Structure 1
């Protein structure tokens, strides 16, 4: 089996220590977590972990089965990139003089559909939302000019197909 990108979605109760136990499952198998995001789900009181890994489907299936054994986990799923709609966000902090003195910076901002979040005398901050490759491309374009700070979010994703978790979560909420 070949390595591919997988997005794992974990629906759980919001309990202390669960993130540590879930990350331990990856650690035991020597699989690197490429991206991690935890947020509220569509059901009150239920959290959604979105984990991105690069491995085989066999390993991914085993990991999901192990995650589901955790007491607080309601259900876990995995999907390929083709089965999901996903985005990441990034912030770039750049010296302000470049915004006004270098036309190429303005072109990069325009061509990448980035937004200027704030401007001060010392720096300006750009926000870029998109797929990993789009953010990487913007990073490589801005690197020669000097990036003062850079941060990117974990992946957020929804599936293209209807997920049966909604009915399961509603049942959980009524308990």
Structure 2
């Protein structure tokens, strides 16, 4: 079996220590987490973990099975990239003088469909949402000008297919 990128979605109660136990499942199997995002879900009082890994389908099935054994976990799913719609976000802090002195910076911002979110005397901040490759491309274009600070989020993802999590939760009511 060949390695692929998988997005694992975990719906759970929001309890202290769950993230540590879930990350331990990956640690025991020596599987690196490429991206991790935890937030509220579309269901009240239910959190959603979005975990991105590169492994085989056999391993991801085992991992999802282990995750579902955690008491607070309601349900876990996994998808390949073709089955999801996903984005990441990034912000770049750049010296302000470049915004006015380097016309090329303005073109890079426009061509990358980024936006300037704040400007001060010392710096300005660019925001970009998109695929990881788009963010990496913008990073490489801005790098020669000097990036003062850079931060990128983990993947956020929704499945193309309807997920049956709402029906599962209805059964618990």
Q: CA RMSD in A?
A: 0.7
* Aligned-partner SS, 2:168: helix
Q: How does 1:93-112 map to 2 (within 5 A)?
A: 93-112=93-112
State the partner residue of 1:89. 89
Unaligned runs of 5+ in 1: none
Give the Cα–Cα distance (whole angstroms) in 2 for the partners of residues 38 and 90 of structure 1. Answer: 17
In the alignment, the residues of structure 2 paired with residue 2 and residue 92 of structure 1 have an alpha-carbon distance, to the nearest angstrom, of 35
Task: After TM superposition, give the deviation of residue 166 of structure 1 in Å.
Answer: 1.4
Question: Is the CA contact (8 Å cut-off) linking 1:43 and 1:170 kept in structure 2?
Answer: no
- Structure 2, gaps ≥5 residues long: none
CA distance in 1 between partners of 2:6 and 2:86 (Å): 12
Shift of 1:169: 2.4
Name 2:45's counterpart in structure 1.
45
In 1, the alpha carbon distance for the partners of 2:140 and 2:170 equals 44
Name the count of aligned residue pairs: 173
How far 1:168 sits from its partner (Å)?
1.2
Secondary structure of 1:25's partner? helix
TM-score by length of 1: 0.97
Confirm or deny that 1:12 pairs with 2:12: yes
Structure 1 residue 54 corresponds to structure 2 residue 67 = no
* 1:1-175 superposed matches below 5 A: 1-172=1-172, 174=173
Q: TM-score, normalised by structure 2?
A: 0.98
Q: Give the ranges of 4+ consecutive aligned residues of structure 1 lying more than 3 Å apart after TM superposition.
A: none
Inter-partner Cα distance in structure 2 for 1:105 and 1:145: 8
Cα distance between partner residues in 2 of 1:170 and 1:152: 35
